[in-house]
Structure 1
């Protein structure tokens, strides 16, 4: 018998033994992550520290070291992110990297469930329903249970789906979800549970799964079938999860199950950028990773390649205030820059004037508009700025938050303004009248026929064309419209009167009415800048505050637009100049968070995310005076900025151009017309 001696494979261990010059391409900590061997590892990657670069090179290194690509699982939060990473890894090494299993948790779970469908009692050809399909099913079961006819308001289909999904993703009892997010529906808990049960029964009967089911059913499949779990985990020699701070409880459980044989799990993320708890993300997942995976190697990426040292010092000062965190200190070898600016304005409108004027100066200095971003906590925080940008003909695109003039409740208020300006506006009257209980298209049309011939079209309670049952409601509407027409009110006063009247309808029509009422209050403030109702309607019609990239490109030919964005929508992006507006207590942090230490921490992380988007220059701004439904009041700057001394930020004062004698000492910005 012949013998053939198999030589022992010697793994390539040192960076210099590989074809790729990893030691030239990566810093020391990145190299440590890329060359981490077996066992669990947590890479805490601070903002701008090359997280994606590290993951891409680790994929290439594993493949080059002889790991079969099909035995590497890369989980990301979008399929596009996984595809881009694997393409980059292929460009570094070769096409083998494209054979790596890459995708989202939902994509990978769907693949497993189709493969093992019989183990959970589903046919292999079960279908997945998207959010719009889920809403249709919810509405169907809601109607089947006659809940659409309840005398008390019952949650609409969107709210019901949010309640059900939040409970699943956060592993919370429905009553807890109602207590925390929808206390107005607590007394209807039994009926809401009835809808949830009927929704689940419908899906099981029709062999369909929604997005949440993909995660839940995969977790249950692997927990209840040890042979399947071992088979799946055996094929995952190395598991990597990107943005681990954004995982929910289900995804953290799945991560453990997917890596339960080899134990080679690497999670990459930044606890300081965990800002999506409203979507079910659990900040504790990344903090508790070392406890969940015994023997975890903790690797911190702290060298930032994006921002100036001055911006990073502000970011580090913010992180010091967090209660629940991994300790880290961002640093950079980038060229030093100017201190971030702390800009105090007398009003929100002056804040808008400052930003538009400085943006125009930056453009004159050859900074492209799309290298500048204005970030804010809520979509409504930029309404006044949007008006001012339109006036100055500065193209912009807005991401995140609800578009101002597209919002139904803003349209409702504007409809009242339109009938005051033009009593023959049929479309506006239709919208105004159909807010009233019981009035449909036919009654609205009859009323409009009367309006066309009436001596005073606003004296609707004198109409003889409609049922007496509507008279009390029509009297209220008439009282409002006649009062406005007979008095010479300012534009903001008119908007305030209309919004006060409209709030009753807002509460009846929308489950999220508290947020919408805040929008209405913001609209009163926005209206301050208009001289007349007709002028406001004209400007909002000709330059609606809904500019899109297409609109701005058509208006300015090839000039890319300025970026307006909520902070949540800005995560992962970067710009040379970043303005963070409305840095007020009650906005950031949100007034809803100040009593809860964990929520307050998330608000702090939100500001940290905004700060670390800036490359060259950062501006915090806030108005000293603000308006509410109860009048003007003095504001308080964000508590997160109180420890920012003169070594960290430089105060800027805004002064009017025609008052040079009031120029203060230090850095100042003169506001023109």
Structure 2
């Protein structure tokens, strides 16, 4: 990471996180610059505020820190702590509570009417959200979660069903069978069926069950190419080539993994035999 930061500095580049941190440093170290921006941005709206991280919130605090505001800047934050999904990126929904503490006389408006969802969907969502122990309204009494579905012209939809299974396999098998039934008996187009999961690994584990029922699948995933198996294999092979020049012990450690790659077509038994033979004779794989 240090080398990465040095290279960024050498090339006079910033990544996204550094842009925010450098902006914070500049605002904290240069009051004139801070007040100049505060006058430029006198009205600020923050959407999806539950997904902001501490650095982003600090940036907003600095931009709204002007004596003329007297602690009550024109800033609107819109968010729902039940929909926080970016904790893995450092987001902290506690910023919603911190917002109320950071400014004077904060006006809180809670959504009480829902025009998007049928009652069954809303009820299911509320039952799930009720299990969250750190919900905002537990610590901030001005917030309410009593939302009612009021739309009357939404298209008819089936009720939400909640099912429980003893194992992942049982869940995948039932779901694949149900999808097969929907397509073959109810004549629903496969493109009209979606499967959502909290993590990609669940979908990957589910794919063989769909294949067993010969069900068509369209699966999209944004993936870091550096994390793909083939790139990992190329990296290990490059490490082996370098190790063969001066680090024989490291090369001996890498050989079994490299030889196990499928494209060599070597049986596992053969690799174990080579390993055992080298160990018995006290020789290096190289």
TM-score (norm 1): 0.32
Cα 1:343–1:443 change in 2 (3 A) is closer
Cα 1:207–1:368 change in 2 (3 A) is same
- Are 1:259 and 2:52 an aligned pair? no
Is the contact made by 1:245 and 1:274 (CA closer than 8 Å) also made in structure 2? yes
1:360 aligned to 156, 164, 180, which one? 180
2:18 aligned to 207, 210, 213, which one? 213
CA deviations on 1:67-109 (whole Å, 9 max, x unpaired) are xxxxxxxxxxxxxxxxxxxxxxxxxxxxxxxxxxxxxxxxxxx
3-state SS of paired residue (2:55): helix
Cα 1:438–1:291 change in 2 (3 A) is closer
**Equivalence map 1:45-56=2 (5 Å):** none
The structural deviation recorded for 1:285 is 0.8
Cα 1:242–1:370 change in 2 (3 A) is farther
Q: What is the distance in 2 between the residues matched to 1:307 and 1:367? A: 22
The structural deviation recorded for 1:216 is 1.0
3-state SS of paired residue (2:77): strand
1:270 aligned to 64, 69, 80, which one? 80
The aligned counterpart of 1:350 is 170
The aligned counterpart of 2:149 is 332
Is the contact made by 2:259 and 2:271 (CA closer than 8 Å) also made in structure 1? no
Number of residues of Structure 1 aligned to a counterpart in Structure 2: 243
The structural deviation recorded for 1:384 is 3.8
The structural deviation recorded for 1:200 is 4.3
3-state SS of paired residue (1:214): helix
3-state SS of paired residue (2:110): strand
1:460 aligned to 274, 281, 285, which one? 274
Is the contact made by 1:238 and 1:259 (CA closer than 8 Å) also made in structure 2? no
3-state SS of paired residue (1:265): strand
The aligned counterpart of 2:253 is 437
Is the contact made by 1:302 and 1:330 (CA closer than 8 Å) also made in structure 2? yes
Is the contact made by 1:304 and 1:331 (CA closer than 8 Å) also made in structure 2? yes
**Equivalence map 1:595-606=2 (5 Å):** none
3-state SS of paired residue (1:342): coil
Is the contact made by 1:236 and 1:258 (CA closer than 8 Å) also made in structure 2? yes
- Are 1:389 and 2:194 an aligned pair? no
Q: What is the distance in 2 between the residues matched to 1:393 and 1:316? A: 36
The aligned counterpart of 2:240 is none
- Are 1:230 and 2:40 an aligned pair? no
3-state SS of paired residue (1:397): coil
TM-align CA RMSD: 3.9
Q: Which has the higher strand share?
A: 1
Higher RCO (Cα < 8 Å, 6 or more apart):
1
List gaps (5 residues or longer) in structure 2: 138-143, 234-249
Q: What is the distance in 1 between the residues matched to 2:78 and 2:166? A: 43
TM-score (norm 2): 0.68
Cα 1:329–1:349 change in 2 (3 A) is same
3-state SS of paired residue (1:386): helix
